[in-house]
Amino acid sequence: MKLLPLFLRRPIEAVYERRLAATLVGVPRPQHVGIMVDGNRRWARKAGHTDVREGYRAGGAKVTTFLGWCTAAGIEHVTLFMLSDDNLGRPAEELGPLIEVIEETVRDITAEGRDWEVRAIGSLDMLPGTSARVLKEATAATTGRGGLKVDVAVGYGGRREIVDAVRSAFEEHIAAGGDPAELVARFGIDDISRHLYSPVADHTDFIIRTSGEQRLSGFLLWQSAYAEMHWVDCYWPAFRHVDFLRALRSYANRERRFGK
């Protein structure tokens, strides 16, 4: 069947989107959503761009739109996976433009007038040049805004985060004059949860990954113990509001057992 012309498809999609949104009124929805913004380079190639930076730019622009959707949906916390610690090994000519787009995106979502409290999490000190300072300064201006909490994961790795959390717990204990052996004897789940990059994010309800890939790739390994997963076939720049609403519908239809 041939695709409908665009001038017919848009009104039909708009009607479907309104009906879909209506089905979500009063149903369970996640409080903390992790989103893996994957497929920017593949989107650029599929769209005919010879420069993959066009994919990064389109993906960066989609972040602001997505956070608006989350705010409207009443979601409290979003973690954006924008750059893994493994990605830091990419060639400089590829990594540089990507980090520039991340910096531009963070400046945008932290701009005055936004009601989002933003933090950059990950191994920021491993970033090249002045990127860590740029991200820290931009996000510091959002402290106390009180709106949607947004963690931007840059140079992030879930295994590294757990290691850093354990190290931080011991450093804090020793600095307070405690005996390391005593901490070892009582060390538990809460000791790690309290020392994660974003301590309030020790529980994640829902993780979405675009691009059709079906793996976590080290994202929120500790926090995702009982998270629901949702895989989307489209690339991140092509992720639509209707795709987001479908994801929320999928979450609402699941019976969460938490191992019981």
Residues with active-site annotation: 38, 87
Distance CA 32, CA 79 (A): 8
Token pair 């695709």 is found at 3
Q: Side chain identity at 212, as an amino acid letter?
A: G
Apex CA 12: angle with CA 10 and CA 4, to 5°? 70
Alpha carbon distance 188, 216 (integer Å): 24
Report the distance separating Cα 170 and Cα 167, nearest Å. 5
Q: Would you state the structure tokens that stand for residue 144, as one six-digit string? A: 């106390």
Torsion-angle region of residue 43: left (phi > 0), alpha (psi -120 to 50) or beta? alpha
Structure tokens that stand for 40 in this block: 């920017």
